[in-house]
C-alpha cells in the first residue's frame, strides 16, 4: 500500500547535516536534539525561533510523559468527546492517516501497552528478549476506535494515545514549511531521527550523515525527507535502555527482533517515519514491502548486517566524493 500522501498539512542520535555555505543551530527538545539549517545565513535566527516554537507547542500538546500535556484531557474525559486545540487535532489526524495506510502497523492506541512494557522493564538489563511471548500483554484498542471530527476527539475510556511514532515527524514537516513561508529560504529541520526540508536546497544539495554510518552521507532532493527508527535491540537481542519500547499493535507485545534500525526517504518526514516504524513491526516482511513500493530504505539487522531497498544507493554520497 503506497502512503505517499502522508504530507503534513500546513531518544535518537543526531543525523548530522553537512552543507557548505549553510548555517545551522541545534538545541535540546522533546527528549532529543532539534536542529535547523538554512541556506541563507541571515535567516538562521528567525528560522530557529520558528522551529523552536513549533516543537515546544507540539510537545506541550502531545507528549505523553508531560503531566501538563493537552493529551491528558482525554483520559480525564473517561470516553466523552473533548474539544482539542487545532495543533493537537492536526497531530492526531496525522497519526490516524498513518495507521490507516500502514494497515494498523503504526497505531496511536498503543499507549497502555507501551506503559505496561516499560513497567516490566524498569530494570532494562533484565527485560526479556525482544519478541519473547507472554500471555500478560496489554491489548491495543485499535486506531479505528478513535473518533476525530474537526476539533472534537473521542477515545474509549481507558485508552491511552501515544503519538510519538508520528507527531515528531509531522511537526518537522510543519516547521520546515513555516520557515520557508516566512524567510523564503531553503531549510532543513530535524527532531531526533526525523528530517524534513522545504524550499530550494543549496547548490550541492542537502547531505545528512546517519550517525552509525560514518563512511557516507545521504543526499536529499529539495522538499524530500528522511526518517530513522530504532527498535532498541542491540546485537545479541538485548534492549538498549535509551530507546523507548516498540509495540506490535496486532499483538500488544514487543515485535520479533529482526531490525535494529531502519532509515527511509520520503516526500515528507511523516511518510518516511511511517515506513520506518512499520518496518520494525513487520520484521522479515519489511524489505519486500519497501521494495515493492520502491521506497529508498536502509535496514540494519540485529546482527549488524545492512540491507537496502528501493534506490537507496542513488541517495548515498561516499566521503571520497565530497
Beta bridge partners of 301: 259
φ, ψ at 283 (rounded to 5°): 65, -125
Query: How confident is the prediction for the chain on average, in pLDDT?
Result: 84
Q: Please name the residue ranges forming H helices in 63-162.
A: 73-77, 86-101, 111-120
C-alpha cell at 102: 500502514
Q: Is the pLDDT of residue 139 over 80?
A: no
Task: Looking at mean pLDDT, say which of 1-10, 13-22, 104-113 comes out highest.
Answer: 104-113
DSSP state of 21: T
* Lowest-confidence region among 135-144, 158-167, 176-185: 135-144
C-alpha cell at 154: 473521542
Q: Which residues contact 175 (CB under 8 A, 6 or more apart)?
A: 36, 50, 51, 54, 55, 189, 196
pTM (two decimals): 0.85
Report CA-CA distances (Å) from 152 to 10, 80, 146.
20, 10, 11
CB atoms within 10 A of CB 182: 14
One CATH from 3.40.50.2020, 3.30.70.2190, 3.90.79.10, 3.10.520.10 for 1-322: 3.10.520.10
* Lowest-confidence region among 57-66, 102-111, 269-278, 312-321: 312-321
**What gap in Å lies between CA 71 and CA 86, rounded to an integer?**
13
b/e for 120-134, b at 16 or more Cβ within 10 A? bbeebeebeebbeee
pLDDT band at 246 (very low <50, low <70, confident <90, very high): confident
Every domain of the chain and the residues it spans = 1-322
**What gap in Å lies between CA 243 and CA 277, rounded to an integer?**
13
Residue 15 confidence (pLDDT): 53
Residue corresponding to grid cell 520557515: 179
Amino acid at each position: 500500500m503506497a502512503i505517499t500522501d502522508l504530507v503534513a498539512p500546513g531518544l535518537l542520535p543526531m543525523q548530522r547535516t553537512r552543507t557548505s555555505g549553510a548555517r545551522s543551530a541545534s538545541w535540546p527538545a522533546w527528549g532529543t536534539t532539534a536542529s535547523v539549517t538554512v541556506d541563507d545565513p541571515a535567516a538562521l535566527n528567525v528560522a530557529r525561533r520558528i522551529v523552536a516554537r513549533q516543537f515546544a507547542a507540539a510537545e506541550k500538546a502531545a507528549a505523553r510523559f508531560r503531566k501538563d500535556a493537552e493529551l491528558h484531557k482525554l483520559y480525564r474525559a473517561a470516553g466523552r468527546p473533548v474539544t482539542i486545540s487545532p495543533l493537537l487535532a492536526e497531530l492526531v489526524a496525522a497519526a490516524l492517516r498513518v495507521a490507516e495506510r500502514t494497515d494498523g502497523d503504526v497505531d496511536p492506541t498503543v499507549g497502555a501497552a507501551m506503559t505496561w512494557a516499560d513497567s516490566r522493564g524498569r530494570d532494562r538489563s533484565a527485560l526479556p528478549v525482544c519478541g519473547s511471548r507472554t500471555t500478560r500483554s496489554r491489548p491495543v484498542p485499535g486506531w479505528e476506535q478513535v473518533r476525530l471530527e474537526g476539533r472534537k476527539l473521542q477515545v474509549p475510556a481507558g485508552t491511552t494515545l501515544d503519538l510519538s511514532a508520528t507527531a515528531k515527524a509531522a511537526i518537522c514537516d510543519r516547521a520546515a514549511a513555516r520557515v520557508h513561508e516566512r524567510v523564503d529560504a531553503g531549510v532543513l529541520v530535524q527532531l531526533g531521527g526525523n528530517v524534513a526540508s522545504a524550499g530550494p536546497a543549496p547548490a550541492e544539495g542537502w547531505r545528512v550523515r546517519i550517525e552509525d554510518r560514518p563512511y557516507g552521507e545521504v543526499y536529499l532532493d529539495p522538499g524530500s525527507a528522511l526518517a530513522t527508527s530504532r527498535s532498541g535491540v542491540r546485537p545479541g537481542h538485548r534492549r538498549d535502555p535509551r530507546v523507548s519500547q516498540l509495540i506490535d499493535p496486532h499483538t500488544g507485545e514487543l515485535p520479533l527482533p529482526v531490525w535494529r534500525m531502519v532509515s527511509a526517504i520520503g516526500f515528507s518526514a511523516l511518510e518516511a517515519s511511517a515506513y520506518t516504524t512499520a518496518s520494525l513491526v513487520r520484521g522479515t516482511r519489511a524489505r519486500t514491502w519497501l521494495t515493492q513500493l520502491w521506497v529508498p530504505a536502509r535496514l540494519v539487522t540485529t546482527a549488524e548486517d545492512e540491507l537496502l531497498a528501493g534506490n537507496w544507493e542513488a541517495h548515498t554520497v561516499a566521503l571520497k566524493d565530497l
